[in-house]
Structure 1
Amino acid sequence: MSGYMLSPSLGWIGGGIIAALLLVAAIFNVVLFIRRRNTSDTSLVACIRRSAIAVLIAIMALTPSVMATTTSRAINATDVYVAVDVTGSMAVNDAQYGSNDKIARINAASKAVTDITALYPNASFAGLSFGASASLDVPLTPDSNALTNWADTLRTEPTASSSGSNLDAPLDKLLVNLKATHDQHPDDSIILYVITDGEQTSSATRRSFSSLRGYINDGFVLGVGSTAGAQVPVTQVTASGNQTQAGDWVIDPSTKQPAVSKMDPKNLAAMADEISGRYIALNAKNTLSNSASKDASKRYRVSTTVKKRRRATPVVWPYAIAAGVLLLWEFGSWLAMSRRML
């Protein structure tokens, strides 16, 4: 049969062990009948019936299934928004993520995004980058690969187009999208992650993130970089679209010396407090491998997606009916035998 397969609901180990034991029982029943056929009142029909029952249950343990194409998907009712700072300071090479190796802050952010997707299986994800302006690069989707692919391609703004760091740059875009998600799925758990070095170089006063509290269930502000800081490299985009460092340092106009960017824990903690969330400094010891939100939903909802998927649909009922008929036959035979013995 086309598309016919075995897909044990108890897993190949559990289902395989049960099926093997039942097949051994079926064979043992036949061997025992042959050895005792001259001294036992068990008939050939009874022997075949009992072995057939064991074989049918063994087949059901292996869960016969057919492959069916579907556009439906069960999605965990958790929506995770990730906002990543892509200002020039995120190119500074002073971050650590799970090791003592120094990497660019933007690369640490990329690793953190990948870990976030692993923390929320079957959830929906959205990716937003912010620098001089904010952009919703990945609209809310149940495809976690879309977010990890986006994270792998994250690049900082070219120095020529950078206008300094303004931490509230993603605020308006987040507010609009979080409200839309909350209105569309009011029973969902919405989790917000903001990844930045916390540096505010703009002269404008930073707006509070407290306006987001009404639309999220939990929030995290993730700090990348070091409080010691390091010099900010000049970055540029090549004709092919790749980002490179020009080999020079950004000059601080006030000192005429290479600018030094430092992670600002004070700003990061304040942002976390404004969303009633938690601030986590990412470094050699702290990663996101075990920092999933306790407010993640345990409920699921069915959604229709554009992508077609092949799904194994169990077809156990024919075997269950056959086994049921044989079991009733066995029970009837046992009753008849009991009455004769009385």
Structure 2
Amino acid sequence: MRAWTLHPSLGWIAGSIIAAIMLVLAIVGPILYHRTGSNTDTSRIAVVRRSLMAIVLAFMVLTPSQVQQVTNKAVSATDVYIAVDVTGSMAVQDAHYGSQETLTRLAAAQKAVNDIVATYPAASFAAIHFGTNATIDLPITPDARAVTNWADNLTTEPTSLSSGSSLDAPIDPLTIAMKERKDQHPNNRIVLYIISDGEQTSAQQRKSFSTLRAYLNTAFTVGVGSSQGGKVPVSDIGFNEQKQGGQWVIDPQTGQPGISKMDERELRNIADETSGTYLPTDSDHTVANGPAAKSSSRYQVQTTQSKHERITAVVWPLALLLLALLVWEMIDWIVSSRRLL
């Protein structure tokens, strides 16, 4: 359904003033011609033509426009934030991920990242690793390949530089990144995955993840490792593959190689703080066959429709009419000039 209206491109104040001047000129011309009578060389047709030109200009300034009802479709996307623990304990080889094969915890985390990316085919992703500190390695991007490449190249934190696992390290950078994203795209869904063995060895008390709830639609903590645990290999450069070293991190209290165990209780607590869900991974459970995959369809793509009016200026017919009158005026002037020679 289309309707006609006036929508001055110069605004109603300036447009109305100019249009009024044009209309006054269109009226004054014939009045002056009538008063002067035969004391002018101007013909009656020329006076009418020039009045028409003024009237056409007045309407052009007022900008006749068509109003059309338009329906817009907006796609509300999903933003998935993935935080992976890279502390030295993630090099422990006691994890299983969908099979009986024993992996390092980091290798299981890498498989989990690949499953997360496959679970949200229409999403954008941001990636962060955390240990002693936390760093956003990959700002929000729709490039899924970049996320999988990032995961494949993750390495554990060198044990020589570690000062204890701190699970709350990613809270601050995640809060800043999510708030900024929420401000820019308030309709987007934000999903958080925290992949860790849940081991907290820092002397400081862990901060709560509850501050992230203001920006999250849902969250998951993914546990990698086992409750039996394993020895932590010593590394000066970190591990990124399923391999063990000949030396182990020594427990200062016992003088024996320390045993790192997955802390499932801590991971469940973090899930509760974010109003999320804890996802265990083992020989039977993966991210791909867990509750996250079942619920992901709600967050992939949501299409919303909104109606608004679109105003389109239609001045070209008036412009053609004005051009024709101007050509007529020029021809009449040429003919009159030759008569005066």
TM-score (norm 1): 0.63
| Aligned CA distance change for structure 1 residues 121 and 155 (closer, same or farther; 3 Å) | same
CA-based RMSD of the aligned residues comes to 2.0
Equivalent residue, structure 1, for 2:214 = 214
Q: Are 1:272 and 2:271 counterparts?
A: yes
The alpha-carbon distance between structure 1 residues 246 and 100, as it changes in their structure 2 partners (threshold 3 A), is: closer
Instruction: Select between 156-165 and 80-89 the one with higher mean Cα deviation.
Output: 156-165
Cα distance, 1:298 vs structure 2: 2.5
Aligned residue type for 1:299:
Q
Deviation string 1:38-77 (CA, Å, 9 cap, x unpaired) is xxxxxxxxxxxxxxxxxxxxxxxxxxxxxxxxxxxx9760
**Paired position in structure 1 for 2:140:** 140
Q: Following the alignment from structure 2 to structure 1, what is the Cα–Cα distance between the partners of residues 138 and 195?
A: 16
Matched ranges for 1:245-260 at <5 A: 246-260=245-259
Q: Distance in 2 between matches of 1:172 and 1:162?
A: 20
Corresponding letter in the other structure for 1:286: H
Letter in 1 for 2:301: K
Gaps of 5+ in 2: 1-73, 305-341
What pairs up with 1:182-331 in 2 under 5 angstroms? 182-237=182-237, 246-290=245-289, 291-292=292-293, 293-294=295-296, 295-299=298-302
SS of match in other structure, 2:187: coil
Give secondary structure in 2 for the equivalent of 1:161: coil
Q: How does 1:81-100 map to 2 (within 5 A)?
A: 81-100=81-100
Distance between the aligned counterparts of 2:252 and 2:208, measured in 1?
28
CA contact (8 A) 1:199 1:267 kept: yes
Deviation string 1:178-226 (CA, Å, 9 cap, x unpaired) is: 1111111110000000000000101100000000001010000000000
Deviations 1:214-261 (CA, angstroms, capped at 9, x unpaired): 1010000000000010111112229xx988854200001111110100
Give the % identical residues.
Answer: 54
**Change beyond 3 A, Cα 1:226–1:242:** closer
8 Å contact kept, 1:158–1:235 = yes
In the alignment, which residue of structure 2 is the partner of 1:17? none
Instruction: Give CA deviations for 1:263-315 in whole Å, capped at 9, x if unaligned.
Output: 011100000000000001111111011332444142269xxxxxxxxxxxxxx
Distance 2:96 2:300 in 1: 31
Counterpart contact for 1:236–1:246, Cα < 8 Å:
no
Q: Distance in 1 between matches of 2:76 and 2:148?
A: 18
Please identify which structure carries the higher strand content.
Answer: 1
Letter in 1 for 2:260: S
- Alpha carbons 1:235, 1:245 under 8 Å: kept: no
Alignment of 1:53-202 (within 5 A): 77-202=77-202
> 3-state DSSP class of the match of 2:247?
strand
**Unmatched runs of 5 consecutive residues or more in structure 1:** 1-73, 302-342
Closer, same or farther in 2 for the Cα pair 1:228/1:242, shift >3 Å?
Answer: closer
Between the aligned partners of 1:116 and 1:283, the Cα distance in structure 2 is: 16
8 A contact 1:105–1:224 mirrored in 2: yes
Contact 1:76–1:124 (Cα < 8 Å) also in 2: no
Whole-angstrom distance in 2 between the partners of 1:103 and 1:242: 11
Moved over 4 A (4+): 241-246
1:119/1:172 CA distance change after superposition, 3 Å: same
SS, match of residue 268 in structure 2: helix
Corresponding residue of 1:59: none
Q: What number of residue pairs does the alignment pair up?
A: 226
Greater Rg over alpha carbons, structure:
2
AA in 2 matched with 1:296: Y
